[in-house]
Amino acid sequence: MEVFVELSIILGITVLVAGITKLLKQPLIIGYILAGIIVSPSFLNIVESTETIKVFSHIGVVLLLFIIGLSLSPKVIKEVGKVSLVTGIGQIAFTSLIGFFISRALGFTTIASVYIAIALTFSSTIIIMKLLSDKKDTEKLYGKVSIGFLLVQDIFVIILLMVISSFSGNLSMASISLGTIISGILLIVGFVLISIYVLPHLSDFFARSQEFLFLFSIGWGLGLAALFYHLGFSMEIGALIAGVALSVSPYNYEISSKMRPLRDFFIILFFILLGSQMVFGSISQLIVPAVIFSSFILIGNPLIVMILMGLLGFKKKVGFQAGLTVAQISEFSLILIALGVSAGHLTGEILSLITIVGLITISGSTYLITYSDKIYPYLSKYLSIFERKKLREEIQGSQDYECILFGYNRIGYDLLHTFKKLKKKFIVVDYNPETISELSKEKIECIYGDVDDDEFLSGLNLTETKMVVSTIPEFEANLLLISKIRQVNKNAIIIVISHNIEEANELYCKGATYVIMPHFLGGSHASRMIDEYRLDVNKFLKERKKHIKYLKTRKKLGYEHPKAEKHR
């Protein structure tokens, strides 16, 4: 009963602190760590049942990595694309290398420097996904790139955990057991084969009952974690492999959504325990290293990403926004250091140091990402050095085009075919260099440019343009585009896109000829079909055949519809 009362008091304090954190628009993880600091021996000294909380926190870490594994389909390398792969690997390499030398310069041991350098490379997938979702930026170019290199980091996590679990407490190359590595590889291969050939045949049986599916998921995740632990590996690698094995299941999203509430409860206790274990006796000695490491993460990491994306041909704004998504360390960074402490590789001071860095960078990056659109205009002129000069000068405004398409994406694909049928001179404007490269190969007139760039729009000859279509969903970008066109061309047909009724009305007021609202198009199209075909089943079947053919074509071209979020 004492444990129950202790947990109740701790969770009560956590609710109050997390509530304040929420009001300050900070991630709740900060509130959990602060609550842990408050209940620690340094303050209220409430935590007595440390072993019980440790068990719960281990379960939380296992469930967290199990759910991360569920999102890591074996096809993920193909999905993240070249830019995400290059940026992700480049950021990991440069951040860890620079972080190691900073650590050594500050006087940390080689082993501690390796741990710190690796911890600094990881960004929080959970926090970034939440912030991108709140801003509705997951479908923007920078959002897709960011999600891509976060997935690359997650894959690197799997490899890293495999390596760490092969070391003994001395952490030396001599301590790697060849037998352990071979058995680990055999285990992974075995479970990959099970996931491909066995689980798909059993998934329908598990899914017949939601309760049984939930029970199977817990048993599978914790069972494999325990098996790997029994065989000399870490529980974390077992949980990740368990998640990856189920990632190919058609029920992986259902499993993930059911496991999240359970994960959230136990992972809260991990961060509370983390905060309670912070060592404040030498806090004055940690301030300078914490500020240096935090500055490197908040400024250095974004610079690394901006340089890499600039070299790949992306515009400065895309690089800037993508760069901000790596301006914090992740929950896995804290887990990694905690594992190092429990293995005897690190001291409690290192855990305190990285926790302070986590608090600073997670708080700072949250504001930077949330207000990136407002911060960018103040830095825009200084960021031009991150663009390739050749691309900045590719404004072909001297030519006249009757039709201009801004943004070649899912909607732009259909519009492009319509423009071809019109037999009018047209050009496509896009700020994704990969898209421009693909269009150039198809001999389609295109130009690399950004609608948000006032200078770029001014360089275009819009006076004789008959039609301008924008598939870009950003409200402010479309307002700027309409304003620029109407200043020099009162008669042009301007078609833009919007996902919001109020914004659509505002776009009409500013001079849009027509506003496409994708959410309403499906119902409108179906209504017209019913009105035209009535109850003629043959006409509907004919339309069905055409639609299936169309979807297969889009599938071959690599277009995937965004996954809808479940409403809970």
Average pLDDT across each block of 10 residues of the chain; the chain has 568 residues. List them in order. Answer: 82 92 81 85 80 83 80 58 82 93 93 91 78 73 80 74 55 50 72 74 72 86 86 76 79 79 82 74 79 94 91 84 90 80 81 87 86 86 77 50 82 76 83 78 81 74 86 86 90 89 90 86 78 85 84 65 39
Q: In the CATH hierarchy, which fold is given to the domain comprising 394-516?
A: Rossmann fold (3.40.50)
Q: Give every CB contact of residue 60 below 8 A, 6+ residues apart in sequence.
A: 263, 265, 266, 267, 268, 269, 270
Q: Give pLDDT, residue 139.
A: 65
Domain 58-262+289-382 has CATH 3.40.50.150: no
Q: Give pLDDT, residue 292.
A: 95
Angle of helix 518-533 versus helix 537-556 axis, rounded to 10: 150
Predicted TM-score of the model (pTM): 0.67
Please give the radius of gyration of the chain, using alpha carbons only, rounded to the nearest integer: 27
Helix (H) or strand (E) holding 428: strand 426-430
Q: How far apart are CA 249 and CA 69, in angstroms?
A: 12
Do 304 and 95 form a contact (C-beta atoms < 8 A)?
Answer: yes
Do 336 and 142 form a contact (C-beta atoms < 8 A)?
Answer: no
What single string gives the DSSP state of each residue in 331-388?
Answer: HHHHHHHHHHHHTTSS-HHHHHHHHHHHHHHHHHHHHHHHTHHHHHHHHGGGGGGGS-
> One-letter amino acid identity for 172?
S
Dig out the tokens for 332 from the structure: 């896995």
Q: How far apart are CA 293 and CA 120, in angstroms?
A: 8
Instruction: Please give the backbone phi and psi of residue 495, each rounded to the nearest 5 degrees, phi first.
Output: -115, 125
Q: Give pLDDT, residue 290.
A: 92
Q: Give pLDDT, residue 566.
A: 37
Domain extents for the chain? 58-262+289-382, 394-516
Q: Give pLDDT, residue 171.
A: 47
DSSP class of 174: G
